[in-house]
Amino acid sequence: MAVSWPPNGVAGAWQPTGRRSAAWTLVVLIDGGNGGYVAVRSTAEIAEDGNTLAAPYSFTVVAPDGTVITSGMGNSTGRRLQIEPIEAVGTPLPGMPTWAPAPPATPTA
């Protein structure tokens, strides 16, 4: 299955690799593609409840000219999003966490 979000420059594809496992690749454009892109590659094991996962991932940041800027690996966790009716427009997603953005950095002398 492929997913894309053209206004923000996000696209991805995933496929099942077992009864409760999957692999995917996600690409995020930086500054609409003018700043290059980040490729994220991952595999996941889905928990018995079918709603949570644990996933190692790798990322590669690529400049517009194809030069690799940086790369690395990490681990993530996830929770299944619930399908929402189209009539839910204008409402936040149930269960989605909230957060307070960090204040802008203050220059030091």
Nearest to 49 by CA among 20, 77, 22: 20
Nearest to 74 by CA among 87, 94, 60, 62: 60
Q: How far is CA 72 from CA 26, 41, 102, in A?
A: 15, 11, 24
Burial state string for 50-78 with b = 16 or more CB within 10 A and e = fewer than 16: eeebebebebebbeeeeeeeeeeeeeeee
Cβ proximity of 71 and 59 under 8 Å: yes
**Statement: residue 3 has pLDDT above 70:** no
Q: Which of 3-12, 22-31, 52-61, 64-73 has the lowest mean pLDDT?
A: 3-12
Phi, psi of 9 (to 5 degrees): 70, 45
* Amino acid making up residue 13: A
pLDDT, one tens digit per residue, over 30-41 is 876 678 899 999
What does the pLDDT read at residue 102?
Answer: 82
